[in-house]
Chains A and B, each alone.
Chain A
């Protein structure tokens, strides 16, 4: 009985240790796969070399805050609108890390070396002591022209350790969809409708004019005689003019002027 119990306990113990070991292995494998950290080493030439290194002391986290996505959902960014994300940075090591720059860019999805749109690189220059955390904010606007197409989004965080070794951490390096924002009423469609309404009104007016002229030709066949006699002739016949409202002195003045009009004067002189 005792022996049985002892065996059971020992086997349990062994199993627990085995499970723990296995978990360790998995963790290590995952880290090896996930880590895409690269180190830039300054060489004699102008072009810096990029080398793969083992996981560093930094732990990063990327969170899109505008627009909001569910975890592990594909990222869709609205074109021409502000997109914001936060980067969490934890220094897990025992030495200071200095955050240098954070930048983002849209790449051609078939070839990530081909830049489509570069967003500004922000300089942080902040020292993170061991065990401490920091949050970085970044906002960008994908260009309007890229709506409705997939692009590679690349977000890079550069930091260096105490020895000056620079590490570029790729926070995001995957294809995202740039979506077009559906608006209820934008200027373009508004003016299109306005133009259509104006065209309709113009058509109606033209039609009315056409119908009017056709109708007149059929019915009248020219102006009737009565209409001709009632034609407005202005002040041709001066007898009809009512001069009562004009003050007397003005009438006298006018008469005087009439009598001495320059034409008459000239005629008199010639005579």
Chain B
């Protein structure tokens, strides 16, 4: 009886070992993280929309996904809306999560939009978090507000000045015409009065 039990135990241990050696093939979550800057024009002191999309293309849900973006230093950017560090407790298989942040550049010049960092547990049993970096939007040029204004402002003041400058050329002929018209009308009026008196 004792020997039988021990043999079964050994057999079980062996099988479990065999299976555990297969652990590298165990189903894992796999995240693809894209970071996109949605603005076509980057302007100083104007909002920039940054979109993060996380796709889970693995075979099990990703757990405790932490997205951190330290690519926007405080001295150069202000966060208008949203959070640059965010956590998702669970991203199911085949699902995607979108996160958007609105930031505002405080200065102008070239800026390299670098990758965000993502940490997640690739399966329930995994101990160490899986590190991943997102895609990079790349280098962009943030133009100054003055430059932007020069290109896209409605130029209201300029048009007002133009209107004032062109006023004499329009008003002078009109005044001359008005004077002569009123002269003739006065004569006609006098004549009519004469006729009615008669």
Stretch at the interface among B75-83, B84-92, B131-139: B131-139
Chain A interface, number of residues (Cβ within 8 angstroms): 31
Query: Does B160 belong to the interface (CB within 8 Å)?
Result: no
Q: Which residues of B contact A126 (CB under 8 A)?
A: 115, 133
For window 8-31 of A, CB contacts with B under 8 Å fall at 9-10, 12-13, 16-17, 20, 23, 27
Query: Does A244 belong to the interface (CB within 8 Å)?
Result: yes
Contact (Cβ within 8 A) B18 A20: yes
Query: Does B30 belong to the interface (CB within 8 Å)?
Result: yes
Contact (Cβ within 8 A) A135 B15: no
A15's nearest neighbour on chain B, judged by CB, is B15
Contact (Cβ within 8 A) B132 A132: yes
Asked, given contacts A16-B15, A61-B32, A86-B32, whether A135 binds B134 with beta carbons under 8 Å apart, the answer is yes
A244's nearest neighbour on chain B, judged by CB, is B191
Query: Does B142 belong to the interface (CB within 8 Å)?
Result: no
Stretch at the interface among B3-11, B104-112, B148-156, B166-174: B3-11
Asked, given contacts A13-B11, A13-B15, A247-B187, whether A133 binds B31 with beta carbons under 8 Å apart, the answer is yes
Contact (Cβ within 8 A) A16 B18: yes
A139's nearest neighbour on chain B, judged by CB, is B36
Query: Does A266 belong to the interface (CB within 8 Å)?
Result: no
Contact (Cβ within 8 A) A137 B31: no
Contact (Cβ within 8 A) A137 B191: no
- Distance in angstroms between the alpha carbons of A135 and B120 in the assembled complex: 14
Contact (Cβ within 8 A) A65 B53: yes
Q: Which residues of A contact B30 (CB under 8 A)?
A: 61, 88, 90, 133
Asked, given contacts A13-B14, A133-B132, whether A63 binds B8 with beta carbons under 8 Å apart, the answer is no
- Distance in angstroms between the alpha carbons of A61 and B183 in the assembled complex: 90
- Distance in angstroms between the alpha carbons of A57 and B183 in the assembled complex: 100
Query: Does B55 belong to the interface (CB within 8 Å)?
Result: yes
Chain B: minimal CB distance from A204 (Å) = 42
Q: Which residues of B contact A32 (CB under 8 A)?
A: none
A19's nearest neighbour on chain B, judged by CB, is B18
Contact (Cβ within 8 A) A132 B184: no
Query: Does B64 belong to the interface (CB within 8 Å)?
Result: no
Q: Which residues of B contact A86 (CB under 8 A)?
A: 32, 34, 55, 135
Contact (Cβ within 8 A) A135 B135: yes
- Distance in angstroms between the alpha carbons of A10 and B131 in the assembled complex: 43
Asked, given contacts A13-B14, A61-B57, A65-B55, whether A137 binds B34 with beta carbons under 8 Å apart, the answer is yes
Contact (Cβ within 8 A) B15 A136: no
- Distance in angstroms between the alpha carbons of A9 and B57 in the assembled complex: 39
B contact patch SS:
mixed
Q: Which residues of A contact B25 (CB under 8 A)?
A: 27
Which of B8, B22, B30, B32 gathers the greatest number of chain A CB atoms within 10 Å? B32
Query: Does B41 belong to the interface (CB within 8 Å)?
Result: no
Chain B: minimal CB distance from A187 (Å) = 22
- Distance in angstroms between the alpha carbons of A130 and B183 in the assembled complex: 98
- Distance in angstroms between the alpha carbons of A86 and B53 in the assembled complex: 11
For window 136-156 of A, CB contacts with B under 8 Å fall at 136-137
Query: Does B188 belong to the interface (CB within 8 Å)?
Result: yes
A136's nearest neighbour on chain B, judged by CB, is B135
Chain B: minimal CB distance from A40 (Å) = 24
- Distance in angstroms between the alpha carbons of A20 and B14 in the assembled complex: 12
Query: Does A215 belong to the interface (CB within 8 Å)?
Result: no
Contact (Cβ within 8 A) A63 B55: yes
Query: Does B63 belong to the interface (CB within 8 Å)?
Result: no
- Distance in angstroms between the alpha carbons of A13 and B135 in the assembled complex: 47
- Distance in angstroms between the alpha carbons of A2 and B2 in the assembled complex: 11
Q: Which residues of A contact B130 (CB under 8 A)?
A: 131, 133
Q: Which residues of A contact B34 (CB under 8 A)?
A: 65, 86, 135, 137
Against B, the Cβ 8 Å flags (1 = close, 0 = not) of A112-130 are 0000000000001010010
Chain A: minimal CB distance from B14 (Å) = 6
Against A, the Cβ 8 Å flags (1 = close, 0 = not) of B173-198 are 00000000001100110010000000
Q: Which residues of B contact A (CB under 8 A)?
A: 1, 4, 7-8, 11, 14-15, 18-19, 22, 25, 30-36, 53, 55, 57, 115, 130-137, 183-184, 187-188, 191
Q: A17-B15, A135-B31 are in contact. List 15 more A-B contacts (CB 8 A).
A: A2-B1, A6-B7, A13-B11, A13-B15, A17-B14, A20-B19, A63-B32, A63-B57, A86-B34, A86-B135, A131-B131, A132-B131, A133-B133, A135-B134, A245-B187
